[in-house]
Amino acid sequence: TQSPPQEKTGSSVNMDLNTEESPTQGQPLRNPAAVIRTDGYVELLRGRVPCPTCRGAGSIPKEQESQLVALIPVQDDRLKPRRTCLWVSLAIIGCLLTAGLLIFFMFPRDVKISNNVKLLLPKNLTIDLKHEAVNFIVENPFNITNSNYFPVKISEATMSVVFAEKVLNTTTLSMDKTVQVRSHNSFSIPIGIAFNKQNGLAQLVHDCAEPYPFYHRRVMFFSVTASYNFLGRDEEASLSMYTQVSCGNDTLRLP
């Protein structure tokens, strides 16, 4: 008779388990780094790598291995390079110095018009006692001063003359003058003046015909405006003044 199969005892089962080959015995691993060894077992990571900052207690996907970020302690000397404050201070000082120089040189300053003439003598003087009319031309000289560190270009100047609350004439002179850096330039504006019945000043005709200069001179009000351009901007400079004007021949004397 055939005896029934005997059951394996627990000791034999343990022996079979202990005699079973581990994955690391008999054949080499393709990725030795993909194995975590502990005190009692060997774990295959299967496409993962050990976590370098987890103290051997974890793993990360292998494709994220190149994305690891190194942590540096705050007290590490590499975070406190020498001369950093020096270079930062020099950069700030250089920027402030450059900005200050640009503001100093490019800041727009005044362009002034001046006139020091006390008496304007007539040119092309004609005195018509019969028709009670006097016509003459005066040239009013001006100085224009550029206080900027860049040149300015004068495009035109307008001047008007007023006497006895009447605007005798207004003229505009087109010009193309350049006033260089921190310098001055001069120009003259001619303007015609008339005394006649039309403007109500015919009574001055006989005074202009007198031989004495005292009768010739009248104080008139002049207003001049100069248009100039600099750095793409259009500006104006103006001047108002009172000046004596002669309407007769001041060199004529009676014997």
Whether 36 maps to a domain, the answer reads yes
Whether 163 maps to a domain, the answer reads yes
Residue-number span of the structural domain to which 85 is assigned: 77-106
pLDDT band for 55, please (50, 70, 90 cuts): low
Whether 253 maps to a domain, the answer reads no
Cα–Cα distance, 123 to 179 (Å, whole number): 28
- Tell me which of 3 and 135 has the higher pLDDT: 135
Mean pLDDT, rounded, of the chain: 82
89 & 32 share domain:
no
**pLDDT reported for residue 7:** 47
186 & 234 share domain:
yes
115 & 220 share domain:
yes
136 & 99 share domain:
no
Residue 71 reports pLDDT greater than 90: no
Cα–Cα distance, 25 to 39 (Å, whole number): 17
β-partners of residue 43 are 36
168 & 234 share domain:
yes
**pLDDT reported for residue 14:** 42
How far out from the chain centre does Cα 135 lie? 51
Residue 158 reports pLDDT greater than 60: yes
51 & 142 share domain:
no
Buried b or exposed e, range 123-145, using 16+ CB within 10 angstroms: eebebeeeebbbbbebebebebb
91 & 118 share domain:
no
Domain boundary among 106, 126, 153: 106
**pLDDT reported for residue 37:** 53
131 & 97 share domain:
no
Q: What is the pLDDT of residues 77-125, one digit of tens each?
A: 777 777 888 899 999 999 999 999 999 999 999 999 999 999 999 999 9
Q: What is the pLDDT of residues 166-203, one digit of tens each?
A: 999 999 999 999 999 999 999 999 999 999 999 999 99
Whether 138 maps to a domain, the answer reads yes
**pLDDT reported for residue 83:** 81
62 & 91 share domain:
no
Residue 13 reports pLDDT greater than 90: no
Cα–Cα distance, 30 to 9 (Å, whole number): 37
Whether 133 maps to a domain, the answer reads yes
